[in-house]
Every structure is written in structure tokens, then in C-alpha cells.
Structure 1
């Protein structure tokens, strides 16, 4: 397998930390054994956990006003893939990439797939882009795409999504994620029902183009760029559209696309119950769609979401197989470092949720013992599972301390030499 980080560097770093890790792991194992929890079973589950990296997340994001590119940023999908490979080599839990078209479109998809295969990277959900006009585009998305009053603009957006399915088939992906910025900015600008009807009619044509073994995931967003009304503004509109379109259409939950204090874990439960949970975009948020690093602000909420997901697995919920992906904007950090750290934090929430005593929790719930039920969750959340995560990485040949190895490798400075920044590139914002 083609590697970008020297295995010898990882091995040397791991050996210097191994004795300490083994001691911490043994101590945690003894503690868990007193609760009748097998640490080895938990570690195997941690090693199996995977979360996809968004191709666009490997570059610096920005605000609506300006973007400050970092050094050595990837300039095309092949260089993005190279960074994704590094992230997986060090974290051991990001073996797949989600592409975005037309940003990642290439002339030869077989070459792109071959390169990914050499890195040991898989392709997952493909993302369409009808929220901005492309150079030479004949019909504009300024007033919407799939819900536009212009039939020509809608047909253009439909065809783009069908093209994305074709690209994904060549890469081996199995799902299409659709997010649109459609909506309105002024009261009276748009007829709510007719706009939603146009959206559904457009989505029905895309749905018909799905291969038999594919899913379509609808992503909702509370606001932006449409600040008065948004076509798919919350999980209610999302699940209504998914139910209308058919069994291969499900809802995608982006953690940043909710109003502050929204009970996201309950939304997750509802989507699981009605077999409409397609997947997640993991990030964190302060005000709205901030796309901060996962777990940086609300780690307990992230744990509570995984509590619902692990509970569904425990109950062997039918048709339950959500896709996990990071979706973040890195404005003041090295994107690779943030993605490594975020992947591990999501993995941490998953592992902690595995420690919850489900039968004890069900008993407290049946007895309406609110305090003990809450403490059952808190006890699992408060336990430091870092030794489990580190041991899972070590056994997979990844780094016990991924960020330290990344920095000592000098990868970013090497890329700065190999990927000179375009002096004519715009510094405008992302919106």
C-alpha cells in the first residue's frame, strides 16, 4: 500500500510510548472488568469504527468575508486524496473519502479510483453542488436550483445530480447527498408550497436515476444563504421529503444545521424509528452552521447522539446502517490536524456509548428513576477511554500520538514546497 508517512517514524514514536500505554490500558481493563466489561471487545469495536473525510475539508475554509489559505494546501482531488491518506495512516479510523462535484471532477475517474486503491482509501457518498453557478453555466441558480421557477434551471440541477451518480458509480460509491441553498430572503418572495412541490418533483427525477443498491441522503440546513425561508430547513421537511420519495431516500443530520439547544439526539431517535436515518456530518457549532471541530464545544451532546446510535445497534434495529462523515471548516488550524483530532473525538464518543449498561438504563427508565438514568450515562461519559483508542490505533499500525507524529514528519512543510500557492487565487470568502 502506498504511504505518505514513513512507517519507521510511526514505529519509533509508538515504541517510545508503548510501555506507558500498556500500563494505562491494563489499569483501565481492570476498572472495566469490575463492571463486567471486556476491554478487548471494546477495543475491537473501536478498531472497526470508521468515519469518512470530506475532500473539501482538507483545505482551509473561511468566513463570508475572507479566506486565509494555509501553506501546502491541496489544489486538486489527487492532492486532497494524498492528505486524506495521511490522516488515515495516523488516525486509523478514516479509510474513506466523500467527494464533491464539480469541485472534484476529473477527466479519468479510473485513474482517480486506482490512486485511491493504492492508498487503501474507499469512496463513499458523492455530493452535488447546485448552490453556486459554474463558469459558463447557461442558467443561474441565483433564485434556486431544484426549486427554481425556471424549468431550465431545474433541469440543469437535475442533470448535474444524475451526473454525480455516474461519477460515483465509477468510483465505487453507493450514495448521493443532496443539499440545496434554495429558499427566499424576503417575505412574499416565494410561494412556500409551490416551491416545495417543484423541489419534490425535481428530486423524484433524481431518485429514479438511483442504481438499485444506492441511497439518496437529503441534508437540511436551518438558514444560509436563504435567510427568510429555506426549502429543507429542518428534520421535519427533510423526513417528509424522504418519505415522499421512497425507501432509498433517507435524511442526513449535520450537527451544525440546528438552532441552538435543539435536542439533536431525539431527532436521531425519531429518524431511526422510522428507518430514515441516512447518516451524519459531524462537527460542532456555537451559533449556527459554524462547522467547528467535532467535540470542541459540545462533547456530551455528541456522546448522547452516539448513545442513541449504539442503542439502535444493541436492539438490532432493522435497516440501521448510517454513514458517518466529518464536515468542518478549518480557518485557524492545519486542516489535516483538525481532521485527525475530530475523527478521534467522534470515535471517543462511540466508545463511551458502548460502555453504557443498557439493561440497567432500561430499568431506570421503566422505574422513572431520572437521576440514576442520567448518572448511568454520565458515568460512561466521564470515563477516560484514551487508552482504548490509542491501543486500537497501535494494533492497526497507526500512531499512538497521531498529532505528534504528524508534526515531526514535517509533512506540511514538504507540501508547501511541492504545492506552491497560486498568486492569482482569490481571497474572497466561502459564500
Structure 2
């Protein structure tokens, strides 16, 4: 009687109200999912179904990928991996016009490859790069905008926490998602380099040139990060070439991070406990969100809301590109008021069937929605990365940071459109390495 798309819409409205009123996303998803299933199937069946979903989720082999990669990131963070990466990049390109801005983007990409979180990438690289950029006379808007935008690379460059979550929600290969993210991640960084180059051509005073580091110093700093780079290449390359599965790669990465820490002088007991605590807290939070999202997706499936939405979009005859552009506009609108993970978990059960109807695969959609999530992190009014950067540079107004990130956000729109028009950006490499 109540298993109709209208019931799904009511549940969706209630979910929005709960999220916007401050209820934790995992709790809100779980409450709406169980409440909706109780109305449709009855309270006892709803609780049993939720329990089955929870047990099935927590016993998934691939779920071990997340806490291990988080532990790897925390250990490398404790031994100043982000600072070393930025310092090495700065020695090679820092003397060029805007060189430290290039180095900040490169540092964000490098740290994103071991961290998987945009907020953490922006905060850690920002704490190292921003003081140095400002000391050398860089414009506050260029410095803060570069790091805020570069921080979003943490979501795309594998191993990415967002892609792991999407893989579990959409029941899609995490290894394929990681491989598919490599080219979009590289091209995203290249787009940011182009923005910096254009800004330097337009207004050279934004970033004065500085002294060139001698080659002896460059090699010394490069020697400080070769082990980190080797570990990243082993983890990502192993997954891409199919030598190891993502959980195995995560285990190797976590173990390798401890070896690197020992090589660099070891970890104190406090640092070790803090690393485990941070990894466990974040993992527990994400596990709760995952369970809530999967219960909510069962509710959406039972109501037929996803099928109805797909039929409605098909009836509009927008064509594949028009449909994907419309989805992009919807994601960007929601991303301006919703947290990135909430955006992914809320929309995937509804939008994935529509995307499949356009001929796109779940792997492509995983990259697409992650890219839209990243834009939400630097898109007003929420723009969490911008507030993270303001916390690092408290004397710079949020308006100035918004203006600084605007050129990079413009390049993000172009990059997202390119991903729609040239899906091979995400699908070519997994096809070659399959």
C-alpha cells in the first residue's frame, strides 16, 4: 500500500530536514531507512532487514581497505610526509613565477595519494605551504585559493576514501575505481597548473620570483621523499596492474608506513596511539554512515523511487549528454548546501539507475560524483576546504579566500564537462589494464 515513489519522496524530504537541522548523516539515513521500511513492511521486518544489512556490511572483506589506508595516512602524517613533499617540490619549481603555487598543488597531489581526504590534505599542506608562500610575498588570494583547490585532490587521487565508500554502496570494484581515478586526478592537477600559469601571465605581481635552489639541495630533498613515492607507486601500481587487491594494498601500505616511520626515526608512544585513535574514530564514523546509507538504499529500492526517477528523466528525451549535464547541475546545487559524503550517499541510490540508462558504467559515475563532491568543497556557501584554510590563516577573510579559489573552481567546471564529453578519461585505463 505504501510501497510507492510518493513514500520515497516523503522519506527524502524528511531526510533533508534531518540533515539540515544538524542530525548526523549516518543517523539520519538510518532513521529514515528504518522508519520508511517500518511503514511499508512493518516494524519487525524493518529491524530484521536493518540488522542483516549491518552484519553484511561489517563482514565485507573489502571494508578492511578503509581503516588500513587511514592508518597509513596517519602514520605518514606523524613523520611529516606532507611537509617533505611540499619542500621537495618547492626546491624544483619554487624559483619560477608562481613556483610555490605549483609546488603546493604537487604537494596536495602527493599527500592525497597517501591520505585520501580533501580536508586533511588542505589542512596539512596548508599549514606548511601557506606560511612559506606568504613569507615570499605571494598574494593571499592566490596562496589560499591554490591550497584550497589543491586539497580537493585528496578525494580523487587513489587511494581515496570517497571511492572506497562509493564502491561499497554501488557494489562496484574498488580496484577499478582506483585505476579509473588516475587520469582524472592527473588532469585535474594539470588544470590547476594551467590556472596558475594564466594568472602569472595576467598579473605577475601575484607571486614574485625567488632564488633558485642549487641542484645539491634539490637532490637532498628528493632523497627525503623517495621512500614515500616508492610506497605510493607500489600501492597504486599494484592495484592498477592487478597484482594485489585493494585490501592487500592497504595492508602493504599500512605496514610500509611503519617501516618508513622507523627509517625516519620512529614514532613516539603518543604519536602511535594518536595514529591508531584517529584511524579508528574516522573508520567508525564512516562505517556508521555506510550502514545508514545501505539501509536507506533498501528503502529507496522498495518504494520504487529510483525507477520512477529514471522513467521521468527518460521521458524528457534529453539524450545521454543532456541527462548527465542535468545530473551535474543537480549535484552541484546540492553540493553547495550538503557535505560531500552526504551528497554521495544520498544521491547514489537514485541517480545510479539513471546514469546506467545513458550507457555509462558505475565506475564512470563513481569518478563523476567524486569530482562533483570535490567542487562542493570549494563552492559557496558551504565550501568546507575554504573554512579549513581560513583556520590556518586566521587573518585572511573568507571573502578573499573565495575570490582566490574562483579561477580554480572555473577550471573544475571545465574539467567536469570534459569528463562528461570524454568518458574515456575515466574508462580508458581500466580497460587497458583489465
> TM-score, normalising length from structure 1?
0.29
Q: Which has the higher contact order (CA 8 A, sep 6+)?
A: 2
Structure number with higher strand proportion = 1
Structure number with higher helix proportion = 2
> TM-score, normalising length from structure 2?
0.29
